Amino acid sequence: MIRLVVGLGNPGKDYERTRHNAGFWLVERFASSSGITLRKDPKFKALVGKHADGAWLLLPQSFMNLSGQPVQMLAGFFKIKPEEVLVVHDELDFEPGVARLKQGGGIAGHNGLKDISQRLASHDYWRLRLGVGRPPAGTQGGDYVLHKPSVEEKAAIDQAIDRSLQVLPEMLKGDMQGATHKLHSSEPKPVEKKAAVEKKEPPKKEIPVKEPEKQPEPKKTGLLGSLFGKK
């Protein structure tokens, strides 16, 4: 059973539309669709709300690399175990449109996950990973996630959030296996890129080369003619 849903992101207008705030986007939409008001709680340094099923929703208002403190404080106050926590975050290893659920595992350099793992002294919490794609060559991941996705990428991320929200009630009830199967099986298949067909040029017609015409030998006249003429 999931008793705490944490969305990761950075607070403030400057960051609200950036890739790093994908976790915020999902929890905000879940709260809105569930009629939950997320209120700022100074005690937990976060926006906090409670779902009808009893699960807490949390958006840390510290910056990403300090996300663990609000999670630790709320989880400790309500005696929530790491395996009862779901953290929603952006994932560089997946393309936009991909959403994957798993428990534990590595943090792949994600500063929010790093702080949560240290604060909870555990990697056993659940993670809902929303793909944002890998940065282009020459761009650092930390810089890439602090920029807005393109219109096409945002649409794909929104679709992944839609599919995730459909199975989130099952997660809250504890059916993690069923939720995982439904989420992963509903993922759209990647479009196969057709190999470019090489256009063959029609064979060039060979132009016949004309041999130079033999010029007639000049007639021998005068003295030479008399010496070398016909006998």
User: What DSSP string describes 139-175?
Assistant: --HHHHTTSPPPHHHHHHHHHHHHHHHHHHHHHHHT-
- List Cβ neighbours of 91 (8 Å cut-off, separation of 6 or more): 98, 100, 108, 129, 130, 131, 132
List 20, 51, 89, 110, catalytic entry:
20
Q: Counting Cβ atoms within 10 Å, is residue 99 exposed (0-12), middle (13-18) or buried (19+)?
A: buried
Q: Is 95 exposed, middle or buried (0-12, 13-18, 19+ CB in 10 A)?
A: middle
20 is catalytic: yes
Sheet-wide strand order for 126-131: 39-41, 46-50, 56-60, 4-7, 85-91, 126-131, 99-103
Return the active site residues: 20
